[in-house]
Amino acid sequence: MAANKPVLWITRKLSDATEARAARDYDVRLNPEDRVFTSGEIVANSADVDAILPCHSEHFDADVTARMSDRVKIIANHSVGVDHCDLNALKAKGVVVTNTPDVLSDATAEIALLLMLAAARRAGEGDRLVRAGQWTSWSPSFMVGTQMTGKRLGIVGMGRVGRAFARLIQGFGMEIHYYNRSRLAPELENGAIYHATVEDLLPHSQFVSLHCPATPETTNLMNRQRLALLPDGAILVNTARGTLVDEAALIEALQSGKLAAAGLDVFQVEPGGNPELAKLDNVFMLPHIGSATRETRDAMGFRALDNLDAYFAGKEPRDRLV
């Protein structure tokens, strides 16, 4: 690293190990109170920094990008998803953008499994019942859910997280179907059955799990028409991004019984979620914690710092997007 350390702004409170390494190698600006900055503050804070290490909570849209200081040379995201960044605008401004793939795939796959089991076996309902002291009887018809074992699972997006989830699910003896923009090589497919369109996949999916990025093309991917293609009593899981699901259509499908249940870690509005979804007993919800393990937070922080180190050493960052 050069004698004059580059100035790095880390927008949110990251793991202790990440912040210690960053402070060793950079002239670092931290956010110990973990405040969420407004667009105006992001622009103002960019004035005297060479690099920004943000999370998905900071939005670099075309307007922020245009107003951001020309001193900022790289945005090294602490996330795999980059839907909070206008990549075209950042590229046009000459700003390098990186993300943190791979390191959060297993943690996110674990949360997808948790959501799927919880939705199928009515874990939220059961937990609320016991906590409220309302567990007053038991019978064989009490809290009967859906079994995962032996069922057909549809995975939308067979990238790193989708494949990690497919590996994790092996023990359930599920028949795995998938949609991906392109078919995987047989060793990556690992027996999963390919469908060339989401429309072809959905009728086979007693369970469906979303693992594709949020792009203009995937906005409201699960809309009313596509939800109708699922078998009756299907279960939907989303650990990717809230924009993939038309929440009004999802609520209708959950109320009508078209869907038996849903497990959601992500929402159209974050933080906060959707109060109408929260009224439904057959939804199990978490507050966007797919990658929130100690191990993965360190790994994400280190991966972002690896990308910064490469950039400032004059090398190509491993996870450069633009």
- Using CB under 6 A, list all residues that contact ligand DGY: 55-56, 79-81, 104, 290-291
Three-state DSSP state, 148: coil
The reply to whether 270 belongs to the active site is yes
Whole-number minimum distance, CB 310 to ligand DGY, in Å?
19
Whole-number minimum distance, CB 98 to ligand DGY, in Å?
12
Q: Which of 84, 160, 163, 241 is catalytic?
A: 241
Q: Which is nearer to ligand DGY, 219 or 282 (CB)?
A: 219
Q: Which of 121, 211, 288, 303 is catalytic?
A: 288
Of 81, 171, 161, residue with least CA distance to 117: 171
Q: Which is nearer to ligand DGY, 55 or 168 (CB)?
A: 55
Q: Which is nearer to ligand DGY, 18 or 206 (CB)?
A: 18
At residue 59, what is the residue type?
A: H
Cβ pair 249, 195 in contact under 8 A: no
Three state DSSP letters for 95-108? CEEECCCCCCHHHH
Whole-number minimum distance, CB 103 to ligand DGY, in Å?
9
Residue 50 is given by DSSP the state S
Of 201, 146, 197, 210, residue with least CA distance to 175: 201
Rounded Cα distance, 89 and 164, in Å: 32
Q: Which of 19, 175, 189, 270 is catalytic?
A: 270
List 245's β-bridge partners, or say none: 222
List 153's β-bridge partners, or say none: 176, 207
Rounded Cα distance, 175 and 87, in Å: 37
The reply to whether 288 belongs to the active site is yes
Q: Which is nearer to ligand DGY, 74 or 80 (CB)?
A: 80
Please, what is the end-to-end C-alpha distance for the chain in angstroms?
23
Whole-number minimum distance, CB 202 to ligand DGY, in Å?
24
The reply to whether 241 belongs to the active site is yes
Whole-number minimum distance, CB 113 to ligand DGY, in Å?
17
Structure-token pair, residue 138: 């038991």
Q: Which is nearer to ligand DGY, 21 or 56 (CB)?
A: 56
Positions marked active-site: 241, 270, 288
